[in-house]
Structure 1
């Protein structure tokens, strides 16, 4: 059996998120605004209602979410999940392993983004066995990201998408030292799966079918729910590392 049997299709990752119902400074309920520097993310709504607010090259927008809704967004899109009624989404994430390794960047205020030590302190949840302690830290983290997001959104509305450039430069500086590790994860996961497809096409073009004899079925059990960026997160672990 090839290594592809131990990864999700295309080197993706799959998780289920029960979006936080915590109220924020603007009276809305939901998760922590953030962006991804390399990964495309998709939402498939499985329950409840809400919205996702975005800041991107398209400007500021809000997209309603209801069961059956699906949308996805590319790297650099700031996204904030809003929970109006028991919102749950299935998340399909490109580049499995990279978001968990720091690809996601919170929209903290500029002073925090500019200081790697301050950013790490604000972004990291405590290693506590007390759920209440972790929940309080996750909520403080969310609130700090909301603070930065609301100010950023006003700048985007006033000046256009160019107002995101300061955030983008800060994000790039924060992740720069992680790139060698990310490159290995990408080679072992998404790139390797694309190469597998090329090999299969070469074999079929030559009238060969040996790879079909390596067929099989795999399953994955979701890990215990934890406090994620946007909500209570259950992730199916089927990544190569």
Structure 2
């Protein structure tokens, strides 16, 4: 595939999701609850219907999703996409590259979160496709739901401490990744912002020569039907786009 000279606007990540239709222990069909540590994520609903269930300091919320709706959640917000009927979304992810470098933590039970090796094994997919990958994706979804439901129940009962404890455990799990994330941020989102600053400086100085470097780009999904956290995922392997994530 041809490599692009520039990332997508703002160095965002991009993918398309079709929400899982597997029924969980609570009778709800959908994906794996998780949070991001430094990335805001947005769902742009392109078809079907469903909802996203969230846990935040404001409590538990279920946001309806239907074609044309947009929902987004900031770092630390636990989110779970649930199926209502052929739900399809386009995902826009801040700081492209960071989610693929581990900026997503499943709501596994506390005893799993407390053991990095056990967590990594539970989150890992053994293959990119096939029955073994599907079975593993479903197991980790079920384990994440098993940890999510007590967090939700506690918040609904007015006790935020289990949710806060999960946030602390998630932060501890990924702390060692921060130097790598910092480099990805510098090369992606920060570099994009700095290019804008340089362009503004050039315009102010009456020197728009950088416009001679303008160009147009296009691409198509490099992979269809991957096993994402929330559903089957179509991915784009271009700078500034969401790449495949095994865990």
Calculate the TM-score normalised by the size of structure 2: 0.93
| 1:150 paired residue number | 149
| CA deviation map 1:147-185 (0-9, x unaligned) | 000011011112344442111111111101111111110
The corresponding residue for 1:188 is 187
Superposed CA offset, 1:107-146 (max 9, x none): 00011011101100100011265x1111111000000000
Whether the aligned pair in 1 keeps the contact of 2:4 and 2:239 (CA below 8 Å) is no
Which residue of the partner structure matches residue 86 of structure 1? Answer: 86
Q: Pick closer, same or farther for the CA change 1:128–1:9 going to 2, 3 Å.
A: closer
Contact 1:13-1:238 within 8 A present in 2 as well: no
* Offset of residue 198 of structure 1: 0.5
Q: What secondary structure does 1:221 align onto?
A: coil
Structure 1 stretch displaced more, 142-151 or 152-161: 152-161
SS in 1 for 2:174: helix
Match of 1:115 in 2: 115
1:98 aligns with 2:98: yes
Where does residue 222 of structure 2 map in the other structure? 223
Question: 1:165 maps to which residue?
Answer: 164
CA distance in 1, matches of 2:128, 2:46: 30
Kindly indicate whether residue 134 of structure 2 is the aligned counterpart of residue 135 of structure 1.
Answer: yes
Task: Report how far residue 4 of structure 1 moved.
Answer: 8.7
1:197 and 2:179 are equivalent in the alignment: no
Task: Please tell me whether the aligned partners of residues 223 and 236 of structure 2 are also in contact (alpha carbons under 8 angstroms).
Answer: no
Structure 2 spans left out of the alignment, 5+ residues = none
Correspondence for 1:74 = 74
Q: Secondary structure at the match of 2:30?
A: coil
Unaligned 5+ segments in structure 1 are none
- Find the counterpart in structure 2 of residue 54 from structure 1: 54
**May I ask how many residue pairs the two structures share in their alignment?**
238
Q: Could you report, residue by residue, the CA deviation over 1:50-88 in whole angstroms, capped at 9, with x for unpaired residues? A: 000000122110000000000111000100001010100
Q: SS of the residue aligned with 1:63?
A: strand
| Other structure's SS at 1:47 match | strand
Relative distance call for 1:237 and 1:128 in structure 2 (3 A) is closer
- 1: distance between equivalents of 2:4 and 2:55? 35
